[in-house]
Every structure is written in C-alpha cells, then in structure tokens.
C-alpha cells in the first residue's frame, strides 16, 4: 500500500498510562512528518499538543468519557465543550454501552443528540465497542448514529482484554467483520474508523477493504514506515 | 479469615461496558445485602446508587464515584465538575485518577495542583481516594505520589486498576505498607484473583480490595461473567486461571 494513501486516513493515538509529555511531542512530530489525518489524545494532552504544533495544522481529537462511557448525556456534553475550549477540533465519545446492551434506545438517542449538539461544527465520533455487542445491537446503534448525524463510528476503544486458550489476557482488536457489520447499516452516511490494536499494513488493508474510511492506531508511524 | 470478614473488605464497581442495566442493579443490591465496604459507580450511575442505598442501606457500605478513572486523562476542569457532582449527589467518596501524563513526566507540581482543586471542590464532604497505578509506574514515581497525597491530608489510596495488563503483587503491598502504611490506608485494585493472594496482601498491610470477583474470593457465590460467543452477561462460574 502506498504511504500517501494510508497516511491521509491514518490517526495516531496515545491513550495509555505510560505516555509522558515527550510522547505527546513525538506523536505531534510524527503526525506532521507522515501527514496523519488526526491525532487522538486525552483532553489533558491537548495543550501540550498545541504547544508543539506551534500553529501548524493538525486535527486534534479528544477522547470523551473514555474508556467506559458510563456517563449521562449532559456529562458528556460538558466534557465535549471543555475539550473544544482546550483546543480539540474533533471529539470521540465512548457510547454508554450498558444502555445499548440493555436496549435503552431512547437514552442512546438522547446521548447522541447531546454529543452532536455540544460538538457544534467539530467532527464527532462515537465509539461503539463491537466486542461487547450482538449484531442486532451493532445494527441498531449504527442506525441511530446515522439518524443523529454522528460523523464517524469507531469500532472499539482497544483496551479491553479476553482470556486466550492458555488463560492469558490478550487485547481485543478490531476485525474486518466488525467493519462490514457497520458498513452494511450506515453505507456512506457515516464514516467508519477502524481502531483497536491495528498494528500492521496488512491489517490496515484488510480493514479498509472491508469498508473502513479511517484507521486509528497506537502504531501509526510504525505502520506508515513499512508502507511503500 | 472468615468469609464474612473478607466481604467487609470488598469494594464493587459495576460500570464496565459489557454489563447490562439489570446486572448492574443486581450487583449493587447484592453489595448492600452482603455488606461490602463500598459500592463505586460511574458518573452516569449516581441516581441509581442513591436509589438503591435508600432501599438497602446497611449502615456500613459506603457509596462513591470514579473521577477520571482509570487513565486520569480528563482535564482538571472536568474532574472538578465531577467531584462537585459527587458532592451534590451526597456520595461518601470519589476514587480519583491523577494526571498520569504529568506524573510520567515527573511534573508533580501539576499533579498536586489538580488534586488541590479536587479537594477544594469536595469541600471536606467527600473522601478523596486517589490511585497510584502501581502496576505501571516505578516505585520512585509511586513514592512521589504518596508524598503528595500525604501532604494534602489524604487518608486512603487505591493501588491500581484492573482494566489493563499487570497484576498487583504482594510485594507491591509490602513496599507500600513499609514506606507509607503508617499514614495511608491501602485499598488494593488491579486483578487480585485469588483468596490466598488477598490474604497474603492483608498480612502485608492491605485493608480493602476493589474486586470484580468479590463473591468468589470471599467464598460466598459467583460473580459477573461475560460470554464472548453469545455476548451475554450473567452471574456464573469463574473461568480464568487463579494467579
């Protein structure tokens, strides 16, 4: 895959405990060098990212109610407005998955409405956590996202684990099948961000072929270095 | 230790994304009925915990909310907003995730300033229980965090979180107790998966345990499980290795 093609849809993310200010700076420099589509950071990293950018253009996406999403709509709206005031140009909220799993569809809709309104003209993304949802739940939540004008649906937060056959914890990653399920519902009405342990060019190709419009990865620069 | 005594040291926090409303409610009710130390919820569950406390209060179990949990990546402004919310909701405590990016950068001034603002928002009406992320940070950073917490008059700390790789070890507790045990109570969080390990931790100085498996480890029943094939959440047999 050509680097120019992948970098245009690539987001770099650092959403972990061990990242310090230097890691934020590195992410910003990598994003400029490789011309990422955006960087995804915690709200309290935005100021540092802006400082390093020194006015250069780069979309800064703040994660909201991350990682569990068990917030009320007004609480998410407050955090979105707060992140935008800090300098975020995109926001990505984790949906209230417990509501989705409980079939509280009106509450899900209220949340999407509140987040859309709070984000104003900024791009707003909803992380739907495919790993915890049945196909029907994925379909329904995607339908509501499209109706409520959510710009992008993201597949996963990428930090949950499950036990493998040896009973060791392994990270749950996004699979092309997840993307296909979302694409089947939203078509071209909502863009799809494939994220959750994407760590190779081949994985990116598979996800994009399945219908993803964007990729987001902790290994964004490493992946791009391996492109043609 | 008697099972009943262990339950009194357990803390439940049903807010992760693979739950359902019904399971959350049952988990909290059981927590009150069995008399866990605390039931901790997410910001969106404060009304529920108050409703259940009104109905099932046992005079012992405390209620609380997480603030910035677990990565501490929210802005200070958001953490203060949530702390004020917890106060308005008459909770007993907030479990606070500190600014990990600042701590990893040895910028402890920023960590401390944020906590001062959270304490100010709590206005003495809420216990502030900050995390340490012991499974991630070296002892040098943990030590600095403890120093700040003690300086600010904080009485209890939460050792880590269970969302990620890495488990709390008895050695972590021994180190913490030997260095700070005379000033702060130790609430263990971070994948404690067996009663033996938990009892060793108590012997080393731990006081309370934030556990997903509090029934099983206490010896009184089965905990919440998730079936990845059917996507169902249920109370059932534990399937993971005990380590």
Alpha-carbon distance of A129 to A91, in angstroms, equals 16
3-state secondary structure of B184: coil
Q: Could you tell me where the DSSP H helices lie in chain B? A: 3-7, 21-34, 46-56, 76-88, 100-104, 108-122, 139-151, 170-180, 195-204, 214-218
Give the model's pLDDT for residue B180. Answer: 98
- Cis peptide leading into B70, omega within 30 of 0? yes
> With 90 as the cut, is the pLDDT of residue A146 above it?
yes
> With 70 as the cut, is the pLDDT of residue B241 above it?
no
Rounded mean pLDDT of A125-136?
96
Judged by a CB distance cut-off of 8 A, whether residue B75 touches chain A is yes
pLDDT band at A58 (very low <50, low <70, confident <90, very high): very high
The 10s digit of each residue's pLDDT in B111-147 is: 999 999 999 999 999 999 999 999 999 999 999 999 9
Q: CB–CB of A69 and B17 under 8 A?
A: yes
Give the model's pLDDT for residue A88. Answer: 98
Residues in B touching A96 (Cβ below 8 Å): 44
Tokens representing residue A164 in the block: 């493998």
pLDDT band at B4 (very low <50, low <70, confident <90, very high): confident
The 10s digit of each residue's pLDDT in B10-36 is: 999 999 999 999 999 999 999 999 999
Rounded mean pLDDT of B192-208?
94
Mean of per-residue pLDDT scores for chain A: 95
Q: Are strands B232-236 and B223-227 parallel, antiparallel or unpaired?
A: antiparallel
Q: Tell me the percentage of chain A whose pLDDT exceeds 90.
A: 88
Choose among A36, A32, A78: nearest CA to A55: A32
Alpha-carbon distance of B69 to B12, in angstroms, equals 15
First-residue to last-residue Cα distance in chain A: 6
Interface mutation target, options A16, A41, A81, A98, chain B, most CBs of B under 10 Å = A98
What dihedral do alpha carbons B21, B26, B27, B29 form, nearest 10°?
120
Alpha-carbon distance of A200 to B22, in angstroms, equals 39
Q: CB–CB of B45 and A70 under 8 A?
A: yes
Q: What is the largest CA-CA distance in chain A?
A: 49
Q: In which domain, by residue range, is A157 found?
A: 3-225
pLDDT band at B243 (very low <50, low <70, confident <90, very high): very low
Judged by a CB distance cut-off of 8 A, whether residue B71 touches chain A is yes
Look up the CATH architecture of domain B3-66+127-145+154-236.
Alpha-Beta Barrel (3.20)
Return the number of CB contacts < 8 Å for A and B: 128
> With 50 as the cut, is the pLDDT of residue A132 above it?
yes
**Percentage helix, strand, coil for chain B under 3-state DSSP, each rounded to 5:** 45, 20, 40
Q: What is the pTM of this model?
A: 0.96
Alpha-carbon distance of A47 to A34, in angstroms, equals 21
- Residue A64: exposed, middle, or buried by beta-carbon count in 10 A (0-12, 13-18, 19+)? buried
Q: CB–CB of B42 and A71 under 8 A?
A: yes
Alpha-carbon distance of A149 to A225, in angstroms, equals 35
Give the model's pLDDT for residue B161. Answer: 87
Residues 6+ apart with CB under 8 A from A13: A39, A40, A41, A195, A216, A217, A218, A220
Work out how many domains chain A is built from and give that number.
1
> With 70 as the cut, is the pLDDT of residue B8 above it?
yes
ipTM for the whole complex: 0.96
Give the model's pLDDT for residue B240. Answer: 59
Helix axes B170-180, B139-151, angle to 10 degrees: 40
Q: CB–CB of A16 and B239 under 8 A?
A: no
Give the model's pLDDT for residue B239. Answer: 67
Backbone angles phi, psi at A105, to 5 degrees: -65, -35
Give the model's pLDDT for residue A162. Answer: 80
Q: CB–CB of B43 and A71 under 8 A?
A: yes
Give the model's pLDDT for residue B113. Answer: 98
Which CATH number is A37's domain given? 3.20.20.70
The 10s digit of each residue's pLDDT in A162-184 is: 877 777 778 888 999 999 999 99
Q: Any idea where the domains of chain B sit in the sequence? A: 3-66+127-145+154-236
């Amino acid at each position: 895959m050509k680097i120019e093609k992948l970098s245009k849809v690539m987001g770099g993310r650092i959403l972990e405990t061990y990242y310090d200010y230097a890691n934020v700076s590195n992410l910003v420099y990598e994003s400029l060098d490789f011309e990422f589509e955006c960087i995804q950071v915690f709200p309290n990293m935005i100021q540092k990212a802006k400082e390093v950018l020194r006015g250069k253009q780069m979309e800064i996406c703040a994660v909201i109610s991350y990682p569990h999403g068990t917030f009320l709509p007004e609480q998410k709206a407050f955090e979105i407005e707060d992140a935008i005031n800090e300098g975020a140009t995109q926001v990505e909220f984790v949906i209230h998955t417990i509501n989705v799993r409980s079939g509280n569809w009106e509450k899900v809709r209220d949340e999407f409405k509140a987040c859309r309104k709070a984000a104003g003209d900024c791009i707003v993304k909803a992380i739907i956590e495919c790993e915890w949802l049945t196909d029907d739940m994925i379909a329904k939540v995607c339908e509501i996202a499209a109706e409520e004008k959510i710009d992008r649906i993201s597949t996963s937060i990428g930090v949950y684990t499950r036990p493998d056959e040896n009973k060791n914890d392994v990270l749950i990653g996004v699979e092309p099948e997840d993307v296909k399920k979302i694409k089947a519902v939203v078509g071209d009405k909502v863009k799809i961000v494939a994220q959750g342990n994407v760590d190779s060019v081949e994985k990116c190709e598979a996800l994009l072929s399945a219908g993803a419009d964007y990729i987001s990865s902790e290994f964004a620069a490493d992946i791009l270095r391996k492109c043609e | 230790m008697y099972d009943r005594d262990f339950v009194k040291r357990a803390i439940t926090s049903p807010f992760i994304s693979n739950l359902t409303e019904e399971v959350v409610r049952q988990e909290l009710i059981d927590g009150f009925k069995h008399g866990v130390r605390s039931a901790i919820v997410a910001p969106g569950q404060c009304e529920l915990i108050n409703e259940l406390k009104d109905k099932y209060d046992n005079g012992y179990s405390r209620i609380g909310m997480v603030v910035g949990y677990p990565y501490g990546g929210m802005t200070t402004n958001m953490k203060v907003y949530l702390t004020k919310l917890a106060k308005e909701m008459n909770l007993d405590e907030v479990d606070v995730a500190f600014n990990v990016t600042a701590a990893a950068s040895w910028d402890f001034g920023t960590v401390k300033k944020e906590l001062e603002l959270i304490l100010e928002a709590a206005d003495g009406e809420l216990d502030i229980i900050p995390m340490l992320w012991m499974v991630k940070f070296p002892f040098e950073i943990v030590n600095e965090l403890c120093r700040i917490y003690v300086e600010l008059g904080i009485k209890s700390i939460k050792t880590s979180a269970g969302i990620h790789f890495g488990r709390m070890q008895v050695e972590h507790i021994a180190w913490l107790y030997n260095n700070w045990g005379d000033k702060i109570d130790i609430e263990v969080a971070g994948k404690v998966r067996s009663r033996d390990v938990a009892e060793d931790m108590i012997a080393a100085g731990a006081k309370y345990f934030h556990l997903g498996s509090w029934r099983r480890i206490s010896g009184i029943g089965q905990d919440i499980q998730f079936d990845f094939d059917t996507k169902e959440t249920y109370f059932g047999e534990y399937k993971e290795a005990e380590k």
